Amino acid sequence: MDPSGIFSTSYRSDRRVVRTRWQALALVVFMALMLAAPYLVSGRIIAILNMMLISAVIAVGLQICTGYAGQINLGQAAFMGVGAYTASILASKTGLTFLLTIPLAGISAALFGFLFGLTAARIKGFYLALTTIAAQFIFHFAVLNLPSSWMGGSNGITVPPAELLGLRFVGETSQFYLNLAVAAIMIAGAFGIVRSRFGRAFVAVRDDDVAAGIMGINVAATKANAFLIGAFYAGVGGALWAYLIRFVGVDQFTLFHSIFFVAMIIVGGMGSIVGALVGVFVIRIIQEIIATVGPNIAESVSFLGGDIVFAGMNVVLGGVIAMFMILEPKGLMHRWNILKSSYRIWPFPY
């Protein structure tokens, strides 16, 4: 959002991602800091950053699906699970390199997501959102009930570490670089998608799908594409998750995890890739605090036991979602943009 008086004079400058020299500088500094992070901060923080990077990939996918294309998606964790299972089965059974398993995980998740997006040809509005809940349940059912030699059933699957040219990605630091590289590629891709023809079609469908259809956009295909792309991101994130945790189980991909991802994009701001990243940062910090503080409280309030972390997480994140929808429905990114544009035109009011 540019302040009034600042206009793009060409199509290229309108499409530009990095708009000012300061933004370019900030991007370079940020990337340099990320690359140097393992030498600057402790292992505990690297572990948190790993989780943030993986969540970032998944939340950016959800942002494209929900924030840009306006399709409520409560199945993102299931799509992530499909990716994680694909990667771990391929890695543990066929021994494929992660260079192949990660994209394949994305593709299989995308196909699964596309299946539910396809219903967009017939279904509109909230009914479509509800099919994503069905995705969540069908995923659970499939994992738990297919023969356990296929997907491990309730025991889960152990994943061998990622390996490239004799270099094993074990330990937080080397995995950090793997996650950072994949996340950077995926996020750069997301910026490309939302600026392209597809991204503009997403925004048009979100703002009014009937009007978009009249303007010649294939609405059903656009919605299906939104699910396809969102699920692809979730699948890639799931594969990274599998390599990080080295174990996948069906309990890691529940409806609650899907809602946590929704919380991330709501806090950051709908319809902004950077917003998704901000949301991931904020929500992951909150989750980390609860996970650290929770057990201490559990000692004093003993009747809850280990459930206090889960309960606290739900209360805080549910409260955060409701609070943001009521007080700041456009998210933190919107607040930041207001601040930025009023700074750029200071001392004039507009």
Partner 1 sequence: MVYFINDIITGALIGLLYALVAMGFVVIYRASKVFNFAQGELVIIGGFIVWFTTMQAGLSLWLSIPLSLVLAGLVGYAIERTFLTKLIGESVFSMVMVTVGLLILLRGLVLLVFGPAVRPFPIIFPLKPLFVGDMLIPMNLLIGGIITIVAAVGLSWFFNRTRSGLRMTAVAEDHVVASSMGISVKGSIAFAWVLGAILSTIGAMIFLSGKSLTFLASDIGFAALPVALFAGLESIGGLILAGVIIGVAQSLTTNYLDPLIGGSLGSVVPYIIMLAILLIRPTGLFGWRTIERV
Pick one of 20, 33, 141, 295: the residue that binds partner 1 (CB under 8 A): 141
Pick one of 24, 150, 329, 344: the residue that binds partner 1 (CB under 8 A): 329
SS3 224: helix
Q: How far is the CB of 108 from partner 1 (least distance, A)?
A: 20
User: Is residue 259 near partner 1 by the rule CB under 8 A?
Assistant: yes
Interface characters, 14-53, with partner 1 (x: CB under 8 A): ----------------------------------------
User: Is residue 289 near partner 1 by the rule CB under 8 A?
Assistant: no
User: Is residue 195 near partner 1 by the rule CB under 8 A?
Assistant: no
How many Cα atoms within 13 Å fall on the side-chain side of residue 317?
29
What is the residue-wise DSSP string for 25-63? HHHHHHHHHHHHHHHHS-HHHHHHHHHHHHHHHHHHHHI
The rounded distance, in Å, linking the Cα atoms of 158 and 172 is: 18
Write the Ramachandran bin of 86: left for phi over 0, alpha for psi from -120 to 50, otherwise beta: alpha
Indicate the angle between helix axes 172-195 and 273-300, nearest 10 degrees. Answer: 140
User: Is residue 246 near partner 1 by the rule CB under 8 A?
Assistant: no
User: Is residue 171 near partner 1 by the rule CB under 8 A?
Assistant: no
Pick 104 or 321: Cβ nearer partner 1:
321
User: Is residue 311 near partner 1 by the rule CB under 8 A?
Assistant: yes
Q: Which residues contact 259 (CB under 8 A, 6 or more apart)?
A: 74, 317, 318, 321
Binding positions for partner 1, 196-235, rule CB under 8 A: 208, 210-211, 214
Rounded to whole angstroms, what are the CA distances from 67 to 73, 98, 183, 230, 316? 10, 30, 19, 11, 22
Pick one of 37, 124, 174, 247: the residue that binds partner 1 (CB under 8 A): 124
Pick one of 107, 310, 341, 342: the residue that binds partner 1 (CB under 8 A): 310
Selection from 243, 285, 242 nearest residue 260 by Cα: 285
Residues engaged in binding partner 1 (CB under 8 A): 70, 72, 74, 119, 122-124, 126-127, 129-131, 133-134, 137-138, 141, 144-145, 208, 210-211, 214, 256, 259, 262-263, 266, 303-305, 307-308, 310-322, 325-326, 329
